[in-house]
Structure 1
Amino acid sequence: MNSELYKKISDSTAHRTSRDAIANGILTDQNLFPSLFEIALNTKDKNHHKACWIMELVLEKKLFYLTDFLNDFCKNLKTFDSESSLRSISKISMFLSKCSILTSFQEELIIESCLDWLISDRIKVATKAYSIRTLHQLGKKYDWIYPELRRILTDDYSKHSYAYKAVAREILKKIK
């Protein structure tokens, strides 16, 4: 692990400028990505959520950085339990659902995690919204997803916030 990068992550804040500065360094030097990935996946590390925030920004611009790490990423989805990291991890899953670099097994792991996040009472709206969008995208390939997604969104609609309802309405219109 790159100790200089770890220190930068440790010293970073939730402010976008702080996260952008580190993300830009990794975008400039792809060799730093494995260290970022290692920190992000280590859910026992007190700074892993910060690494997830930064990894989201990096992968939004250069998703191919994750190519060599896809199996580890997908296999570890269930280990994330902090909402601070889940929001970013679910958004990265959404990025992945829009490209064709995943194996069927990796897609299954993402689908399973998104469904778990979607039906969990302890998960916040942003993670659920990214999960809904991910499932919508992957439902284009797996025909069993839309009926399940439709049922969950319809059943849970009244239990959630306006933000959840807005995403649910949008996706329900698309999958009718």
Structure 2
Amino acid sequence: MTTSKLYQELQYVNHSREKRIYYSSLVIDNPKLIDPLLEILFTVDDKLSCKAAWVFEFMCSKQLEAIIPHLDKFTENVSTVHYDSAVRPMAKVCEYLITTYYSGKDHLIKDQLSERHKEKIIEACFDWMINDEKIAPKAYSMNCLYLLGTEYPWIHPELAVILERDYEMQSSGFKARAKHILKRIKS
């Protein structure tokens, strides 16, 4: 399937779980579609990029190792995504990668996620934390940054400053997650 054919197909994706599962399975069954999917996803000024992001997130939730040949492209471009409904799935994919990396279990991600990849994820997560994003990307970013801070000690103090600074003006969801993360940082 060509990029233009995939682009046409993505027009049928909606918020339903059924459609996201269908198209993510299509991509998993045809790994050559991952590159065109990312091409569409990172055409960030096109509203259809959001639908590509939804499919990509579902694909990663089912088969995270499918992202491995595309880690460079993903991490180099993840911070360019700006539509709310595309940022959330990108932050979730970052969380999948980082939680898998620090899980303590053997996984291909541990061997393939490089220093450069982690640096780009750190950059994106801090951007989502300080920008005017919705709670979900911030929550996923908090978790990523907390875990990354176990390897990079400079992250925890920076994250704590942001969480404490923004605590009062954020939603109850943000406050609950921030309180939990701050408690973990301080212990």
Per the TM superposition, whether the score is higher than 0.5 is yes
> Aligned with 2:152: secondary structure?
coil
The answer as to 2:156 corresponding to 1:126 is no
Distance 2:75 2:44 in 1: 14
- Deviation track 1:2-47 (CA, whole Å, cap 9, x = no partner) reads 4443222112111211111111222222222222122111213331
Partner of 1:148: 158
Partner of 1:67: 68
- Deviation track 1:87-144 (CA, whole Å, cap 9, x = no partner) reads 0001111111122232112211111111111011x21111111111110111111011
Distance 1:105 1:16 in 2: 33
User: Which of these residues, 86, 102, 107, is aligned with residue 113 of structure 2?
Assistant: 102
Code of the residue aligned with 2:144 in structure 1: it is T
Instruction: Point out 4+ residue stretches in structure 1 off by more than 3 angstroms.
Output: 1-4
Indicate the RMSD between aligned Cα atoms, in angstroms: 1.4
Partner of 1:84: 85
> Aligned with 1:44: secondary structure?
coil
> Aligned with 1:42: secondary structure?
coil
Code of the residue aligned with 1:170 in structure 2: it is H
Partner of 2:106: none
Partner of 1:161: 171
> Aligned with 1:115: secondary structure?
helix
- Count of residue pairs brought into register by the alignment: 175
User: What is the TM-score with the length of structure 1 in the denominator?
Assistant: 0.93
The answer as to 2:181 corresponding to 1:171 is yes
> Aligned with 1:11: secondary structure?
coil
Distance 2:35 2:123 in 1: 25
Distance 1:33 1:72 in 2: 11
User: Which of these residues, 117, 133, 137, is aligned with residue 128 of structure 2?
Assistant: 117
Contact 2:24–2:56 (CA under 8 A) maintained in structure 1? yes
Code of the residue aligned with 1:25 in structure 2: it is L
Code of the residue aligned with 1:78 in structure 2: it is S
